Amino acid sequence: MWAVAVLASLAILVILLLCVPLELLLRVNADAKPRFRMRLAWLFGLVTKELRREKKKPEEEKEAVERKRKPRDRRADARVIFEVLRTEGLFGGLSRLLRSILSRIRIRELGANLRVGLDNPADTGLLFAFIAPANLLLSYASPNEIRLQASFGDEAVVEGYLYGTARLQPIQLVAPLMGFAFSLPTIRAVKTLILTRWKGKK
């Protein structure tokens, strides 16, 4: 009897923990030294994880190039990916999962001040003709400053910053993730992956 009580208590504790919101902070600086920062905070800041990425130093870039030069059977990897992607219904399941996750994310803060330009001024004008309505809508809908400026020079340029904060309750992802993981297309895709890998090792 005590074992059932312990398991029930653990289940309730897990559910309560999953109800605690997950906070996401994202900031991107696009200047002479591009920087990327993403911070995840859970349990009201008791659990945090921060990811930072800055422009690589010449030594780091050299090491990355050397790692890419290492021999690897890319044809086999491409064949495995192709076989998995051919699974009927997998794309539909992934699309529904992505829409379900995005619908549960609550954006609390969003701001941007970017100056963007392409190599050709005509291409820059065409790009802003497409994004201008969305830019206008975001400027009115968001309480924060959102500015996108065009640069009609002869060189491609992206300068400025972008930041945002969002909140998500992990428990809201349980149902869609379980539904996708145990769906027939996903099971078929996993089976295809295992069989293809096994045949490749023979």
Contacts of 163 (CB under 8 A, 6+ apart): 25, 26, 27, 28, 109, 110, 111, 112
Identify any residues that bridge with 159 across adjacent strands, giving them in sequence order: 115
Q: What is the band of 200 on the pLDDT scale with cuts at 50, 70, 90?
A: low
Q: Average of pLDDT values for 130-138?
A: 72
List the domain range (segments joined by +) for residue 92: 2-201
25-76 pLDDT per residue, tens: 888 887 767 777 888 888 877 888 887 765 555 555 555 555 555 555 566 6
Q: What is the band of 15 on the pLDDT scale with cuts at 50, 70, 90?
A: confident
Is the pLDDT at 7 greater than 70? The verdict is: yes
Is the pLDDT at 137 greater than 60? The verdict is: yes
Name which of 146, 151, 160, 145 is nearest 114 in CA terms. Answer: 160
pLDDT at residue number 131: 76
Q: Are 35 and 28 in contact (CB under 8 A)?
A: yes
pLDDT at residue number 80: 72
In whole angstroms, give the CA distance from residue 23 to residue 34.
Answer: 24
pLDDT at residue number 84: 77
Q: Average of pLDDT values for 108-120?
A: 81
Average of per-residue pLDDT values in the chain: 78
Q: What is the band of 5 on the pLDDT scale with cuts at 50, 70, 90?
A: confident
pLDDT at residue number 136: 72
Angle between helix 74-85 and 184-201 (nearest 10): 150
pLDDT at residue number 124: 77
Range picked from 1-10, 21-30, 61-70, 135-144 for highest mean pLDDT:
21-30
pLDDT at residue number 74: 62
Number of domains in the chain: 1
Task: Tell me phi and psi for residue 89, to 5 degrees.
Answer: 90, -5
